Amino acid sequence: MKQSKKDISLNEKDALQDMLNAEKQLMNLYTVALMEGSSKSLRKEFLHNCSATAEDQFSVFEQMLARGYYETTPAEPPMIKEKTEQFSKVLKQIS
């Protein structure tokens, strides 16, 4: 039996995940466009759109977090210290 579009629907979690993925992809595209932009006015527009997309992405993330659809693990102080030291070493190597 063939399903039609009206027979297929996303639940809330899947819809939010789809929106989050779309915002992330859009961010990637605007970032590339910003790097490749050849005029100040064009780059300014890409930067504005990139910033607006980042806000939208974060709003979707917050909605998922509030509904328990997206779990985050708080960074513990030892982990933060370890990563800080790791990147400090890399920074010294490339400086």
Task: Give the residue extent of every domain in the chain.
Answer: 11-94
pLDDT in tens, 47-70: 999 999 999 999 999 999 999 999
| pTM exceeds 0.85 | no
Residue 17 carries which DSSP code? H
* Nearest-angstrom CA–CA distance, 29 and 32: 5
* Amino acid identity at 24: K
Residues sharing a CB contact under 8 Å with residue 16, sequence separation 6 or more, in sequence order? 60, 63, 64, 67, 69
pLDDT in tens, 2-52: 666 666 788 999 999 999 999 999 999 999 999 999 999 999 999 999 999
